[in-house]
Structure 1
Amino acid sequence: MLENSLANTPQATDAWINDHDSSSAAFSKNKKHDWQGKPYHPISRHYRECFGTKVFKVSVSVAETCPNREGLNGSKICSFCDEWGSAAYHLERDKPLSEQIKINREAIRKRYRAERFLVYFQAYTNTLGKVQKLQDWFDAALMEKDVVGIVLGTRPDCLPSRVLKLFQEYSERTYLSVELGIQTLDDDQLDFLSRGHGSQCSLDAIDKLKEIPGLNVCAHLIFGIPGETDEQLIETARVLSAKKIDGVKLHNLHVLQGTPLEQIFSKGDFAPLSLEEYTRKVALFLEYLDPSVAVHRLAAVASRWNELLAPEWNREKMRPMQFIEDYMRNNQMFQGRLS
């Protein structure tokens, strides 16, 4: 009744004007960013700023293991990880590095008319092992035609000083980006994932990497872990923004055959997020994330459909991305609005 009694009063009119002005100001703020019409900062925009043209990743697989698989952390395999170590389905992992680059580069060149490429060392933990091997991989990648830089995936607990020194050397020579699998900054949730490291390890790793001039640092995050709260997502966005992280890659926790998570799922102890709920979480996180942070990915995509158990929407790439973008536009949300 109170709402109805105020519906046509001057107070209600003033409130509407204030809300309208606030919304208009917010969208004016968003228009300052050249995000190609998206409500978030796409990685494609970052690449164009760096290289003056479109750049595409060429995924390769040369690492063969990780600390958990080697029993170095006293931890089991990560609960979400399959036998391929997060490698894309199309990787020719039995072939030499140079051949992998050529095969995958030409496929991407043909599909997207691409001209510039980043070699992406994707699967397992690429900084586990001898530094000389890592250096040889880098040198081989940079010798390839039209390769303008390197992207490397690794873990927070696999960054010894000798690896950091190598990163410093190559970041002075070329574009180098490190994708760091922090997944979550909640220790209980890291235990659920069987990561074998804590949140402080992740924060320390980010600090060490950010000390290297010119090095690009991207944080991998997983949403939908049991116990996750909105407050936690907001705090994660704030912490990563304060750390001056360069990029984020977002994933929803999904269930693959042959993973420890499959057993938890089959017992009814884990339920993956619906697309609607995941979308809400992503939008909330992005609103508190600094607008300078590039978004590499909005949601996970199951590269091997025969392994996917849940959720079904992980079979698609474009639908979840469009769903998230539409949700943010319809609700007048955009990255950094509340940062």
Structure 2
Amino acid sequence: MTYRHPLAVAPMMDWTDRHCRFLHRQLTRRALLYTEMVVAEAAIHGARERLLGFDRTEHPVALQLGGSDPQKLAEAARIGEGFGYDEINLNVGCPSDRVQSGTFGACLMKTPELVAQFVTAMKSAVAIPVTVKCRIGVDDQDTEVALDSLADMVHAAGADALWVHARKAWLEGLSPKENREIPPLDYERVYRLKGRNENRFIGINGGIQTLQDASAHLDHVDGAMLGRAAYHTPGILAGVDSAFYGAPARDFDFAALIDAMAAYAARHIANGGRLGHVTRHMVGLFHGLPGARRWRQILSTDATRPGAGPDVLHAAFAAVDLTGGEEAA
């Protein structure tokens, strides 16, 4: 088992765009970052630079694809490899209506043989790792049977890793948001999967709130994937490199981070973008610190105004007290 990523930030629709990933990469140099899901058809025929472009500092970064045609997935994977991605990941877990109408995402849990075909096609098209992200099952499936069947088939097809969101997905009756919260977490099911795949990489996702939680999972599986906790409170990522990759523990230089983000935002604005495209991902950065409320207010108002420049970031940062204390209500 050569694939090694003890900590990853999950692919999240509308959230983990290139600006979000650039922010996360300033906080952790080592964690594996994932794109939002890109539909294979869009990767082939759409505006590739807008959909697939990324900053070179984002490495290691994985492209997540969605689709239901092996040839198109293979071509999209080839395009992604050409853009320089370090990994191609197949989405077998998203329960949104748009995904269901295209018969991919979580729907594919019902047809593991198709997923295996997709993995085979993508593996034949690229030299970088091809991985799968799935649920433990969908609807009324027996999760013991469904997850083992999927894992066995994708491993036989050559998948380099399997990341498992430790909940079922309900394709009818629950919204995508509810599917992230209502189906109960079953970490033990993922642990059992790892128990029968000792030499395969099995990673876990779902409801992991802290780095301590993530570390505890590594007693049972090979990797832990943070989702909403990394997005809403990105500052927790500043501890990843020392906790999971052996980097020396140090006080994180948030002033340098703000300088880097301001310079990045200036480049984005010069290319026709808006400050808010970048700062919307930074609102929760100082959660719990004195001044965090004022930081949020400035980013939610001044940073979203037409013509706003990167100086807004420095003004907002000036309101934050990094020495600690209790955040006002």
TM-score scaled to structure 2, two decimals? 0.48
Greater helix proportion? 2
Larger Rg: 1
TM-score scaled to structure 1, two decimals? 0.47
Structure number with greater CO (CA < 8 Å, separation at least 6) is 1
